[in-house]
Amino acid sequence: MASRRWFAQASALAGAPGVHGLTVTTESWRQGVRDLAAGSARLISLWAEADTAGRHVVRAAFVAEPGVLVLSLPVASTDGPFPGIEGIFPAASRMQRAIHDLSGLQSTDPDPRPWLSHASWPTGFVPLAAGPPPTAVEPAADNYAFVRVEGVGVHEVPVGPVHAGIIEPGHFRFSIVGEKVLRLEERLGYAHKGIERRFTELHQMQGHRLAARVSGDSAVAFSWAYCQALEGAAGVRVPPRAAWLRALALESERIANHLGDLGALGNDAGFAFGLAQFSRLKEHWLRAISSAFGQRYLLDFVVPGGTAADLGAPAGASLADAARVLDREARVLREIFDEHAGVRDRFVDTGVVTPELASRLGLAGMAGRASGQAFDLRVDQPCAPYDDLAPRKAGSNAGDVAARVAVRFDELFESCRLVLAIVRRVPAGPHACEMPEAGDGASGIGLVEGWRGPVLVALTAGAGGRIQRCHPHDPSWLNWPVLEHAVIGNIVPDFPLINKSFNLSYSGHDL
């Protein structure tokens, strides 16, 4: 297999197990990407960074059967645009546009439109370049060039970026004829949190708190990936008990999100009973988490070197009891969902993403597993303790809303089983260890299967315990473009249901 020769040339990287790195030339960059694609590799993330001398490097992380490979392409400012890989991995296009917005590096991508700036930054401002950010910004018109669909009877329906409730901003431009959607184009990144710039202003021991807030519903996944990268860079191995407690927190986070989504999906199908019941179960579960860990949402539980708190035997037993009750009641609710004619009518054959399309576009995580993309880091590239727990992978080939709901149910039950297994088997010993600073220039890659999909954090340490560069990557970068395809041919009123069946992160997309 051609992709294996690239792994054979690579060296092991610190952080997550099975991660390797290889520096390539401009001439071999695209060939390497093509060979990886031919070997069924999946693109995880694409980002850029500069060293202290101002030299730029574009990095792309792929996961394949041999492991994870990070290709690094050195880029000089005088070289002109670096070769884009959007023709091989379509999801790379928005990442390449974001690289230009954040780092100033232009690719050969034929789509030159800005992705993150939205006329809120001064002309020429590059957030990740040296120098202070601007103190004031003159407002400017935002004339984003949405792609127009021409034809008799075609009209546009703009939705957002401001939405009802507490949902974050995102603009959706529908081109429709009658009620059917011909095209959807998204525009995201309105909040401008400045996450990647902010990391460079923090000490290494503070970064996990910011990582946990990249996308609040994936706090454990991001903070664990950050700590995994930092611990790898510093050459630290956390105590076994810490790894098991992190997995317990991660599965607890997965359960809470699936409960919330299942209720919301029932509500979007006009089944308010489902929302009421799953909201009740989620509240019970969050109270159980709070009792066990001291936080309803585990924003500060995973820390460098281990966990912020231990789990006592009574708290573990109480959490296990809550998981048993949850499993039992959720199984009853699944039967109700499956047998309710109105719910089935809304779910089945709605928002279909075929396995072929999912593979071509790189659909990842839970949504990908519902479309025949049978990949789960906990199973395929496991870190401790998942190599010992042996999780069972959920999946479907149907690719519709019903399949994404079914995968959620399956993963909910599996996470309940894992919670019981972890509580029963968690090893004795310390839950944290001393954590030294990573040396100047040391780097690591963290990779964790969050509830939405693979979460990556790439970290490079700076001098004096600072962070030189930290890139957090949410799987929504891969999945938002697929949503544009999933809605085609459906009616506009089905969009909220299809959108919720993916439930992608706006926040994780806005760096």
What's the CA gap between 404 and 269, in Å, rounded? 14
What's the CA gap between 349 and 490, in Å, rounded? 10
- Strand 180-187 to 467-473 pairing: unpaired
**CB distance 24 to 83 below 8 Å:** no
What's the CA gap between 102 and 402, in Å, rounded? 38
pLDDT at 137: 65
**CB distance 462 to 199 below 8 Å:** no
Q: How far is CA 243 from the centre of its chain?
A: 21
What CATH number does domain 237-434 carry, 1.10.645.10, 1.10.600.10, 3.30.70.120, 3.40.640.10? 1.10.645.10
pLDDT at 76: 83
Q: Which of 446, 501, 453, 441 is nearest to 477 (CA)?
A: 453
- Reported as type and span, the H/E element at residue 287 is helix 272-293
pLDDT at 52: 62
Q: Which of 258, 220, 187 is nearest to 503 (CA)?
A: 258
What's the CA gap between 6 and 353, in Å, rounded? 31
Q: Which of 395, 397, 396 is nearest to 354 (CA)?
A: 397
**DSSP H stretches of helix in 10-125:** 26-38, 92-103
What's the CA gap between 149 and 489, in Å, rounded? 14
Angle at 96 between CA 94 and CA 98, to 5 degrees: 70
Report residue 109 as tokens: 């991508």
Report residue 379 as tokens: 């199973």
pLDDT at 439: 95
* Token pair 């179960």 in the structure block, residue: 281
Interior/surface letters 391-406, b for 16+ CB within 10 angstroms, e for the rest: beebbbebbbbbbbbb
pLDDT at 190: 87
What's the CA gap between 50 and 59, in Å, rounded? 11
- Strand 11-12 to 19-23 pairing: antiparallel
**CB distance 260 to 286 below 8 Å:** no
Q: Which of 113, 64, 95, 2 is nearest to 458 (CA)?
A: 95
pLDDT at 1: 65
pLDDT at 120: 75
Q: Which of 60, 69, 466, 48 is nearest to 233 (CA)?
A: 466
Residue 63 to residues 45, 175, 364, 377: CA-CA distances in angstroms? Answer: 10, 35, 11, 9
Partners of 67 in the β-ladder: 64
Report residue 80 as tokens: 């002109």
What's the CA gap between 1 and 323, in Å, rounded? 44
Reading the chain (511 residues) residue by residue, the pLDDT tens digits are: 677 889 999 999 999 999 999 999 999 999 999 999 999 999 999 999 986 667 899 999 999 988 999 999 999 876 789 999 999 999 999 999 999 999 999 999 999 998 987 877 777 788 888 677 667 666 666 788 999 998 889 999 999 888 877 788 899 999 999 989 999 999 998 888 889 999 999 999 999 999 999 999 999 999 999 999 999 999 999 999 999 999 999 999 999 999 999 999 999 999 999 999 999 999 999 999 999 999 999 999 999 999 999 999 999 999 999 999 999 999 999 999 999 999 999 999 999 999 999 999 999 999 999 999 999 999 999 999 999 999 999 999 999 999 999 999 999 999 999 999 999 999 999 999 999 999 999 999 999 999 999 999 999 999 999 999 999 999 999 999 999 999 999 999 999 999 999 999 999 988 8
pLDDT at 143: 82
- Strand 154-159 to 443-449 pairing: unpaired
Fold (topology level) of 2-103: Beta Polymerase; domain 2 (3.30.460)
Phi, psi of 42 (to 5 degrees): -115, 135
Sign of the dihedral through C-alpha 267, 269, 272, 274? negative
Q: Where exactly are the structural domains of the chain?
A: 2-103, 155-193+476-511, 237-434
Q: pTM (2 decimals)?
A: 0.96
What's the CA gap between 333 and 339, in Å, rounded? 10
User: Does 237-434 match 2-103 at the fold level?
Assistant: no
Phi, psi of 171 (to 5 degrees): -105, 135
In 160-197, DSSP assigns E strands to: 171-177, 180-187
- CB-based contacts of 457, cutoff 8 Å, min separation 6: 211, 222, 225, 226, 228, 229, 445, 446, 447, 470, 471, 472, 473
pLDDT at 362: 96
CA atoms within 13 A on the CB side of 386: 24
In 119-179, DSSP assigns E strands to: 154-159, 171-177
- CB-based contacts of 106, cutoff 8 Å, min separation 6: 80, 81, 82, 100, 112
pLDDT at 163: 85
Residue 390 to residues 71, 384, 394, 453: CA-CA distances in angstroms? Answer: 29, 10, 13, 18
pLDDT at 140: 65
pLDDT at 164: 78
- Number of neighbouring beta carbons within 10 Å of residue 352: 20
